[in-house]
A and B are shown apart, each in its own frame.
Chain A
């Protein structure tokens, strides 16, 4: 009886295999009745990362347009990480039947196994052709054993992106705000991803926290809507959430208080290392949004432990950016002096200006 069952099972399996084979074999002209091709997102956790970005089918149509497939939801942080003025398009995808849960305003959403975060890096005005060009797509995929990184480098034709785990330098030129920049852009190796994206030695995402995405987004299919609400509505996030989420501001929004703007910027750009229990927690800075309500955590009148130039008396010297180590490091492109350490090769002028304005508002150490 058992044997019969096994044989029956084998037959069913075999039949399935034949169907599968047929459905894959699109070239077979003799197949009178082909099954429709699967066009949905394809994330087989036992096989990712795939060699090519297109294999995931995150995007439909011409891949370079980054038009999301069903279930691939765009999102955008309120203040983003600066990476040499690259523009970014971010998406999140989850398998059917699972959803993320809220853990706290400043905590990562607890995302289910199978979640994929997709971040595309591009320039609108890439030289010499003055065209839009996508350089890389970074994925974080949550497998049963935890998050993995996958880095894809786009080809010049913008028809495909290929897995690139070792990192690479690209000499690039682009125009941003009417200014031409030439730099050596870094595609990160997996080890470099890990420097920022970790909690101890466990890989984690950074930006997908309620305090960073609690804002409206103009969805092509759902109109203008709060991003957290949209994630709840599409079934990606368990609702309801608390009513008053402590939220960062857009650092470029000059209607907001300057201190709130700089705190928002420092959180997204620095707090993955300069926070309790992080890569650089042996330094006194604590730059997470929840920690910078205390200005001493931000470095106000705190002496630097590594002296580059004795003129930088404090990390932030009230009223004097020239004597502020934070200003010096954010204004430096020297690999061993600049901050952040990774992710940028040119100075983020708008952020440095904001820091300068902020320092000038401070008159004492309190």
Chain B
């Protein structure tokens, strides 16, 4: 009697407990619905890996699915009954032994549960495989057949550049003045440039340099401060700033550092003193901001003071914009610091046009204590002046802000 009851319970159960198979070839066909299984214990490990987390799984659990019409299919394990389980899914097309990834996921659900969606084509067979990279537990999952979202009016395709080398792959700039953006990456003894060609291909050139005293682990800026037609580089490190300036044929780069301690959260090439020569500004995380004034023949002199002078720093994201439409570049600093420190209060500095700046944060109503790392300036409301979206890194002291420029 007990057995019969159990059997009955199984039959009317919410989910269909079926025996899936342990390899791709023996995967059992499923349709839309909810399923569960006890353990990821199949002998064939899903390959290739279609989700984050990499290789290392030792077992899989296989299903296959062939839609009768086109669907937007979601495989979800995001159910409270699965709480505490860490699973991973891979979805393939092709033939067993030579499968191709269509979709995959590790942790998009709540907690560590996986959820993956893909556009399924009628009469195509898809293999759905879970693996045991994180644990062996079985779980409940559902296959949902939905309507595909409308096709976007414009789509983008990823482009890959297999030959970008160097430890810091963080810059794109026109390095040789041919109006084509190039890809720049650097290491302590090299500058690597992928020069873009007219046909969209790239020509790789490696420049050997003397050892950089500071590496761009925190920031990088590019600008032609020696005015020879070839862009120069600024490496903002955790304890100082290095410059590499071009020779006048763009065929070698020479190192310069002032040796001063700077925790460079952000750096900008900008004409600070309106003398027509590009200077360099560097945001200091833990002290007043610093800048390097250009003497007009490429010589840079270190200065500290006058452009954000809080003794504790707190400077994370500097950006130069003309917020008052007077034709010179003003400075906004996104700031951040824990506790009650006033170093977290954002700052706006008006360029006085003579190499000096005035802190107008309070008057302009941009002196927010929000924990800020960045800001984006644009004329968002199309009224002829620059507005700002201020982005926070933590909601401890307030959220993201949109501040509209009143034009006064």
> Chain B residues near A201 (CB, 8 Å)?
311-312, 341, 343
Judge whether B260 and A166 touch: CB under 8 Å.
yes
User: For the complex, is A86 an interface residue (Cβ under 8 Å from B)?
Assistant: no
Question: For residue B213, which residue of chain A has the nearest CB?
Answer: A169
Report the bound CA distance from A102 to B215 in whole Å: 45
Q: Does A67 contact B (CB under 8 A)?
A: no
User: In residues 269-293 of chain A, which contact B (Cβ within 8 Å)?
Assistant: 273, 276-283
Q: Which of A294-323 contact B (CB under 8 A)?
A: 305-306, 309-311, 313, 317, 319-320, 322-323
Checking A166, A280, A335 against B338 with a beta-carbon cut-off of 8 angstroms, the contacting residue is A280
Contact yes or no, A282 B336, CB < 8 A: yes
**Most chain A beta-carbon neighbours within 10 Å: one of B134, B261, B393, B397:** B261
Would you mind naming 20 contact pairs between A and B with Cβ atoms under 8 Å apart?
A166-B259, A169-B213, A169-B239, A191-B287, A192-B261, A195-B263, A200-B339, A200-B341, A279-B337, A282-B336, A311-B52, A311-B53, A313-B107, A313-B111, A313-B112, A320-B86, A322-B53, A334-B217, A336-B217, A364-B84
Return the chain B residue nearest A310 by Cβ.
B52
Given contacts A195-B286, A317-B112, A322-B53, contact A278 B261 (CB under 8 A): no
Contact: B52 with A277, CB < 8 Å? no
Assuming the contacts A192-B286, A305-B394, A310-B107, asked whether A281 and B338 have C-beta atoms less than 8 A apart, the reply is yes
A364 and B84 alpha carbons, distance in the complex (Å): 7
Q: Which residues of B contact A189 (CB under 8 A)?
A: 239, 261
B357 CB within 8 Å of chain A: no
A68 sits at the interface (CB 8 A): no
Contact of B396 (CB < 8 Å), options: A169, A273, A282, A342: A282
Which interface residue of B215, B237, B371 has the most chain A CB atoms within 10 A?
A: B371
A336:B218 contact, CB within 8 angstroms:
yes
Beta-carbon nearest neighbor of A306 in chain B? B393
Give Cα distance in the complex from A194 to B311, angstroms.
10
A200, A279, A283: the one within 8 Å of B394 (CB): A283
Partner of B134, one of A169, A305, A320: A320
Name the residue of chain A whose CB is nearest to the CB of B286: A195
Shortest Cβ gap from A317 to chain B (Å): 7
In this complex, what residue of A is CB-closest to B336? A282
- A342 proximity list for chain B (CB < 8 A): 238
Is A167 part of the contact surface with B, judged by Cβ < 8 Å? yes
Complex CA–CA separation, A187 to B1 (angstroms): 79
Cβ-based interface call for B340 (8 A):
yes
**Which residues on A sit within 8 Å (CB–CB) of B341?**
200-201
Closest Cβ neighbor of B310 among chain A residues: A201
A336→B220 CA distance, assembly (Å)? 13
Instruction: Flag if B239 contacts A277 (CB, 8 Å).
Output: no
Which residues of chain B have C-beta atoms less than 8 A from A277's C-beta?
338-340
CB contacts under 8 Å to A, within B226-246, are: 237-239
B131 at the interface (CB under 8 A from A): no
Task: For residue B8, give the distance in angstroms from its CB to the closest CB of chain A.
Answer: 34
Q: Residues of B within 8 Å of A, CB-based: how many?
A: 38
Question: How far apart sit A68 and B338, CA to CA, in the bound complex (Å)?
Answer: 39
**Chain A residue, CB-CB nearest to B339:** A277
> In this assembly, does B106 line the interface, its C-beta being within 8 Å of a C-beta of chain A?
yes
Contact with B along A339-352 (1 / 0, CB 8 A): 00110000000000
Q: Is the interface of A mostly helix, strand, loop or mixed?
A: loop
A186 interfacial by beta-carbon distance below 8 Å: yes
In the complex, A348→B245 CA distance in Å? 37
Q: Are A282 and B107 in contact (CB-based, < 8 A)?
A: no
Q: Tell me the minimal C-beta distance from B267 to chain A in angstroms.
A: 14
Whether A186 and B239, one on each chain, are in contact in the complex, defined by CB atoms closer than 8 angstroms, is yes
Q: Nearest Cβ distance between residue B329 and chain A, in whole angstroms?
A: 27
Docked complex Cα distance between A363 and B394 (Å): 28
Residue contact A282 to B134, C-beta cutoff 8 Å? no
Q: Is the CB of B261 within 8 A of A282?
A: no
Interchain CB contact under 8 A, A192 and B239: yes
Tell me the nearest residue of chain A to B214, going by C-beta.
A169
Residues of A within 8 Å of B106, CB to CB, are 310-311
| Bound complex: CA A279 to CA B259 (Å) | 26
Give Cα distance in the complex from A323 to B312, angstroms: 33
Q: Which of the residues B134, B260, B338, B343 comes within 8 Å of A278, measured between beta carbons?
A: B338
Q: Which of A168-218 contact B (CB under 8 A)?
A: 169, 186, 189, 191-192, 194-195, 198, 200-201
Residue interface bits B69-93, CB-to-A below 8 A is 1, else 0 = 0000000000000001010000000
What is the CB-to-nearest-CB distance from B212 to chain A, in angstroms, rounded to a whole number?
12
- In the assembled complex, the Cα of A283 lies from the Cα of B286 at a distance in Å of 17
| Distance between Cα atoms of A320 and B213 in the complex (Å) | 38
- Using an 8 Å CB-CB cutoff, how does the interface string of B255-285 with A read, 1 for contact, 0 for none? 0000111010000000000000000000000
Residues on the B chain within 8 Å of A280, using CB: 338
Contact B340 A200 (CB under 8 A): yes
B-chain residues with CB within 8 Å of residue A191 when the two chains form the complex? 261, 263, 286-287
Chain A nearest CB, measured from B297 CB (Å): 27
Q: Give 6 nearest A-B pairs by CB, closest first.
A: A281-B338, A277-B339, A335-B217, A189-B261, A282-B394, A282-B396
| Complex Cα–Cα for A120 and B238 (A) | 24
- Whether A282 and B393, one on each chain, are in contact in the complex, defined by CB atoms closer than 8 angstroms, is yes
Contact of A335 with B218 in the complex, beta carbons under 8 Å: yes
CB-CB under 8 A from B393, the residues of chain A are 282, 305-306
B185 to chain A, nearest CB (A): 15
Provide the residues of chain A in CB contact with B287, threshold 8 Å.
191
The proximity string for A residues 103-133 relative to B, scoring 1 for CB distances below 8 Å and 0 otherwise, is 0000000000000000000000000000000
Q: How far is the CA of A283 from the CA of B339 in the complex (A)?
A: 10
Tell me the nearest residue of chain A to B106, going by C-beta. A311
CA distance A23 to B217 in the complex (A): 55
User: Contact between A167 and B239 (Cβ–Cβ < 8 Å)?
Assistant: yes
Query: For residue B215, which residues in chain A have a CB less than 8 angstroms away from its CB?
Result: 335
> Considering the chains assembled together, what is the distance between the CA atoms of A305 and B134 in angstroms?
23
Additional pairs, 19, CB under 8 Å, beyond known A191-B287, A311-B107, A323-B134: A169-B213, A189-B261, A192-B239, A192-B263, A200-B340, A276-B339, A279-B337, A281-B338, A281-B339, A282-B336, A282-B344, A282-B371, A282-B394, A313-B107, A319-B135, A323-B107, A335-B237, A335-B238, A363-B84
Q: Which residue of B lies closest to A194 (CB)?
A: B286
Distance from B173 Cβ to chain A, minimum over Cβ atoms (Å) = 21
Tell me, rounded to whole Å, the shortest Cβ–Cβ distance linking B226 to chain A.
Answer: 27
Q: How near does chain A come to B312, taking the closest CB pair, in angstroms?
A: 5
Q: Which residue of B lies closest to A273 (CB)?
A: B338
| Complex Cα–Cα for A323 and B311 (A) | 37
CA distance A334 to B217 in the complex (A): 8
Q: Which residues of A contact B259 (CB under 8 A)?
A: 166
CA distance A21 to B405 in the complex (A): 70
Query: With A191-B287, A201-B341 in contact, is A281–B396 under 8 Å at CB?
Result: yes
| A194 contacts across to B, CB distance below 8 A | 286, 312
CB-CB nearest in chain B for A309? B52
CB-contact partner of B261 in A167, A317, A341, A363, under 8 A:
A167
